[in-house]
């Protein structure tokens, strides 16, 4: 039998799941996560996680979109092929505003989706947890906390006892 | 205070307003998961095949209309001077407008923290995307030589001419393509956790041996699901960390889609308002178009969701509260639209511009007055019935009224487009527009195109966001309700 990848424990309902997460955080574990088929309100705080970095990607995308918008219009209608329309200036930041606006939103959206994938380290089709039958039940109503063996505080015996002490049931070792 | 007053006061209690639950009958998490997943996982129902066959047949009309158009030329449409914008633009605006309710539900109601949006937002977003596809057909094909449609985009072409960015029509290209793309991204991202659920359930079934003895097709379908959903779920693990980034991304996308959806129909309205034609050249158009779009979109959401609710028995997920809220939005936006109709008339009189006055008198009493009354009746009077809860509680009646809303909103675009063009500044060139059979085929067929796509969605993708539905249930609340296992029914 190979070394354990993680120890998983299940919790019967959302409040006990939430409070257990707070206890794991307070116990000082670092390489662990909660698993549930719904986003639990306030869980990032209970897990001691910082604010998501996704908006940074959104901002970069939006800035790129805005720049592309202003560049294509000024290049195409002012520089490369000056277009006389009603004797108006070849370029002004006002008339092509919808172009800049839409491109800002378009690339912000791509940045956001890309940012979600990057911050979540997805796509990652294989994970040892997927091998575990109990873990697959998270798709239904199971709520699981998994503490990984690469956590510096991980100790097969002590961690198992700790998970039991915070109300975990069906405690299992997931092996790779 | 006298003793009598005190006695009365002690009896008078503040009314206890019970909030209707969003998932009724005290269902539990497993029930929700099973209910939504089994739509995809069980055998294809017969009605689906029947509807699909009808939808494909209907869609073929668009195919025929377009094939004939491309092989012959845009002359096969009923366009003739002075009416050079006919059904194509009407149908385009009609379909784009329908899409707006999906984005409103998924984005605006998300920002406003309206929990009731959860069970209808996925289907409404799907509706948005399919409506945008149907809408896109018309501007794409109205250019006639469809193979030059890419000239709309700022790409270098043989004539070395770039698009003219002062034109609202060019803004429209950007607005609609951005809208379509962002809607797909938003829809897909929302679906990732549910695709993960479908993947895990397929793996569970394959591992558990429920397929022992069952035929190869049932087992093969689960093998297909295991890989198909896995590819698109991208390895989603339902981790707290995943949810944290996902929720942030969702919120940001909602924040981006809100100004986007408002801008799309605003820019569509600029197609008209940017012209100098009486009846088009009005500043009321942007808000009026956006309200109308939301109105027609909610009409379509009701048209689609009420039958689905009945067929799949989703009454605990799409409750009377959901229908009430949708009807009230129809009432609100329908009233705004009605106000705009009346205000247009008032301004035409108040503005004292003879051409403008004529345009509106002509709408009400001219050769197209039948279309105007059709529009006014469907859009202004129909939603007013939603003031009565007895009407809102009658699902069949609500469904019929939602059809009236769809019809009325199509006629609104027809009235705006055609009446203004038919009787413009020069009476000697006045005309009367009638669609040809090709126009009618092409438009009729788009309902088939839409239905084919929507039926595919219902059959193969999760109809509702499972995680979000669970989030608004009392059992999903981390502070309190611990009766999860106790009172729940399976």
Domain boundaries, chain B: 49-150+168-471
Confidence of residue B4 (pLDDT cuts 50, 70, 90): confident
Contact B178 A102 (CB under 8 A): yes
Confidence of residue B133 (pLDDT cuts 50, 70, 90): very high
Average pLDDT of the residues in B236-264: 94
Q: What is the tens place of the pLDDT at every residue in B88-123? A: 999 999 999 998 888 888 899 999 989 899 999 999
Residue A74: closest CA among chain B residues belongs to which residue? B165
pLDDT tops 80 at residue A3: no
Confidence of residue B160 (pLDDT cuts 50, 70, 90): confident
**How confident is the model at residue A2, as a pLDDT?**
66
Interface of B with A in 380-439 (CB under 8 A): none
Q: B105 burial class (0-12, 13-18, 19+ CB within 10 angstroms)? A: buried
Query: Distance, in angstroms, between A143 CA and closest chain B CA?
Result: 10
What is residue B80's three-state secondary structure?
strand
Contact A41 B239 (CB under 8 A): no
**How confident is the model at residue B481, as a pLDDT?**
55
pLDDT tops 60 at residue B483: no
What is the token pair recorded at B488?
């729940």
Find the farthest-apart pair of alpha carbons in chain A and give their distance in angstroms, rounded. 81
| Residues on chain B touching A130 (C-beta within 8 angstroms) | 200, 203, 237
Confidence of residue B273 (pLDDT cuts 50, 70, 90): very high
Contact B259 A105 (CB under 8 A): yes
pLDDT tops 70 at residue B486: no
Interface of B with A in 195-234 (CB under 8 A): 196-197, 200-201, 203-204, 207, 230, 234
pLDDT tops 90 at residue B81: no
Q: What DSSP letter does each residue of A60-73 carry, written as one string?
A: HHHHHHHHHHHHHH
Angle at B50 (CA atoms; ends B44, B53), nearest 5 degrees: 110
Other CB atoms closer than 10 Å to residue B143's CB: what's the count?
14
**How confident is the model at residue B219, as a pLDDT?**
85
Least confident interval from B227-241, B337-351, B466-480: B466-480
What ipTM score was computed for the predicted complex, to two decimals? 0.94
Confidence of residue B482 (pLDDT cuts 50, 70, 90): very low
Average pLDDT of the residues in B400-414: 95
Quote the distance between the C-alpha of residue B302 and its chain's center. Answer: 10
Least CB-CB distance to A98: which of B174, B189, B482? B174
**How confident is the model at residue B122, as a pLDDT?**
93
Average pLDDT of the residues in A29-58: 93
**How confident is the model at residue B487, as a pLDDT?**
40
| Residues on chain A touching B193 (C-beta within 8 angstroms) | 37
Q: What is the tens place of the pLDDT at every residue in A53-70? A: 999 999 999 999 999 999
**How confident is the model at residue B484, as a pLDDT?**
41
| Residues on chain A touching B181 (C-beta within 8 angstroms) | 106, 109
pLDDT tops 70 at residue B475: yes
Query: Distance, in angstroms, between B200 CA and closest chain A CA?
Result: 6
| Residues on chain A touching B256 (C-beta within 8 angstroms) | 58, 105, 108-109, 112
Least CB-CB distance to A122: which of B168, B235, B267? B235
Q: Is the separation of the CB atoms in B451 and B56 below 8 Å?
A: no
| Residues on chain B touching A116 (C-beta within 8 angstroms) | 189, 245-246, 248-249
**How confident is the model at residue B159, as a pLDDT?**
81
Report whether the peptide linkage leading into residue B38 is cis, meaning its omega lies within 30 degrees of zero: no
Other CB atoms closer than 10 Å to residue B336's CB: what's the count?
16
| Residues on chain A touching B204 (C-beta within 8 angstroms) | 133, 136-137, 139
Average pLDDT value for chain A: 91
Average pLDDT of the residues in B312-326: 93
Query: Distance, in angstroms, between A157 CA and closest chain B CA?
Result: 24
Q: What DSSP letter does each residue of A76-138 carry, written as one string?
A: IIIIIS---STT--S--SSTTHHHHHHHHHHHHHHHHHHHHHHHTT------GGGG-HHHHGG
Please give the Cα distance from B221 to A1 (Å, whole number).
Answer: 34
Rg of chain B (C-alpha set): 25
Q: What is the enclosing helix (H) or strand (E) of B448?
A: helix B437-460
| All residues at 6 or more sequence positions from B188 whose CB lies less than 8 Å from its CB, including other chains | A113, B232
Residue A22: closest CA among chain B residues belongs to which residue? B478
Contact A138 B238 (CB under 8 A): yes
Other CB atoms closer than 10 Å to residue B486's CB: what's the count?
8
Least CB-CB distance to B29: which of A40, A95, A140? A140
- Of A103-117, B28-42, B107-121, give the range with the top mean pLDDT: A103-117
Please give the Cα distance from B211 to B218 (Å, whole number).
Answer: 7
pLDDT tops 90 at residue B370: yes
Other CB atoms closer than 10 Å to residue B1's CB: what's the count?
7
Contact A36 B234 (CB under 8 A): no
**How confident is the model at residue B102, as a pLDDT?**
87
Please give the Cα distance from B224 to B218 (Å, whole number).
Answer: 10
Contact with chain A for residue B306, Cβ under 8 A: no
**How confident is the model at residue B489, as a pLDDT?**
41
Q: What is the enclosing helix (H) or strand (E) of B124?
A: helix B118-142
**How confident is the model at residue A4, as a pLDDT?**
84
Q: What is the tens place of the pLDDT at every residue in B170-205? A: 999 999 999 999 999 999 999 999 999 999 999 998
**How confident is the model at residue B488, as a pLDDT?**
43
Contact B244 A38 (CB under 8 A): no
**How confident is the model at residue A6, as a pLDDT?**
92
DSSP A79: I
Q: Is the separation of the CB atoms in A6 and A149 below 8 Å?
A: yes
Q: Is the separation of the CB atoms in A70 and A93 below 8 Å?
A: yes
Average pLDDT of the residues in B394-416: 95
Q: B26 burial class (0-12, 13-18, 19+ CB within 10 angstroms)? A: middle
């Amino acid at each position: 039998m190979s070394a354990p990848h993680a120890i998983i424990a299940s919790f019967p309902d959302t409040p006990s799941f939430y409070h257990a997460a707070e206890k794991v955080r307070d116990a000082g574990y670092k390489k662990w996560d909660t698993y549930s088929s719904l986003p639990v309100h306030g869980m990032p705080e209970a897990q001691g996680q910082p604010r998501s970095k996704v908006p940074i990607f959104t901002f970069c995308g939006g800035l790129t979109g805005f720049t592309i918008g202003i560049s294509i219009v000024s290049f195409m209608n002012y520089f490369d092929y000056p277009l006389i329309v009603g004797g108006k200036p070849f370029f002004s930041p006002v008339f092509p505003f919808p172009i800049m606006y839409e491109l800002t939103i378009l690339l912000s959206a791509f940045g956001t989706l890309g940012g979600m994938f990057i911050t979540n380290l997805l796509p990652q089709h294989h994970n040892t947890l997927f091998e575990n039958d109990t873990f697959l039940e998270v798709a239904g109503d199971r709520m699981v906390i998994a503490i990984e063996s690469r956590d510096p505080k991980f100790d097969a015996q002590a961690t198992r006892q700790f998970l039991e002490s915070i109300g975990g049931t069906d405690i299992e070792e997931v092996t790779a | 205070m006298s003793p009598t007053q005190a006695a009365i006061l002690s009896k008078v209690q503040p009314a206890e307003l019970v909030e209707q639950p969003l998932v009724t009958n005290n269902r539990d998490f497993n029930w929700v998961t099973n209910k939504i997943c089994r739509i995809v996982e069980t055998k294809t129902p017969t009605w689906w095949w029947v509807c699909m066959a009808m939808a494909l047949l209907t869609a073929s009309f668009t195919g025929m209309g377009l094939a004939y158009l491309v092989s012959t030329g845009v002359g096969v449409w009923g366009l003739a001077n002075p009416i050079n914008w006919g059904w194509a633009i009407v149908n385009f605006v009609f379909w784009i407008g329908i899409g707006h309710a999906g984005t409103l539900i998924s984005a605006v109601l998300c920002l406003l923290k309206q929990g009731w949006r959860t069970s209808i937002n996925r289907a409404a977003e799907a509706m948005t995307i399919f409506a945008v596809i149907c809408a896109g057909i018309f501007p794409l094909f109205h250019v006639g030589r469809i193979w030059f449609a890419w000239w709309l985009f700022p790409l270098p072409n043989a004539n070395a001419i770039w698009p003219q960015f002062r034109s609202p029509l060019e803004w429209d290209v950007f607005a609609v393509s951005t809208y379509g793309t962002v809607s797909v991204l938003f829809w897909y991202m929302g679906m990732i956790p549910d695709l993960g659920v479908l993947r895990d359930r397929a793996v569970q079934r394959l591992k558990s041996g429920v397929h022992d003895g069952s035929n190869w097709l049932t087992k093969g379908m689960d093998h297909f699901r295991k890989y198909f959903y896995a590819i698109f779920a991208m390895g989603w693990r339902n981790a707290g960390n995943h949810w944290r980034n996902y929720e942030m991304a969702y919120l940001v996308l909602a924040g981006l889609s809100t100004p986007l959806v408002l801008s799309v129909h605003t820019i569509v309205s600029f197609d008209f308002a940017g012209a100098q034609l009486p009846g088009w050249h009005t500043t009321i158009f942007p808000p009026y178009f956006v309200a109308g779009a939301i109105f027609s979109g909610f009409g379509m959401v009701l048209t689609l969701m009420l039958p689905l609710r009945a067929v799949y028995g989703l009454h605990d997920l799409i409750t009377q509260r959901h229908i009430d809220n949708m009807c009230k939005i129809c009432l609100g936006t329908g009233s705004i639209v009605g106000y705009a109709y009346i205000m247009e008339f008032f301004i035409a009189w108040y503005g004292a511009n003879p051409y403008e006055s004529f345009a509106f008198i002509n709408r009400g009493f001219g050769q197209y007055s039948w279309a105007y009354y059709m529009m006014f009746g469907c859009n202004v009077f129909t939603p007013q019935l939603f003031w009565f809860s007895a009407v809102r509680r009658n699902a069949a009646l609500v469904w019929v009224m939602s059809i009236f809303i769809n019809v009325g909103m199509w006629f609104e675009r027809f009235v705006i487009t055609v009446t203004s063009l038919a009787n413009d500044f020069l009476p000697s060139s006045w005309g009367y527009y009638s669609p040809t059979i090709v126009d009618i085929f092409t438009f009729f067929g788009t309902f088939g195109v839409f239905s084919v796509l929507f039926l595919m969605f219902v059959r193969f993708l999760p109809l509702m966001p499972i995680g979000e539905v669970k989030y608004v249930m009392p059992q999903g609340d981390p502070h309190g309700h611990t009766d999860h296992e106790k009172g729940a029914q399976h």
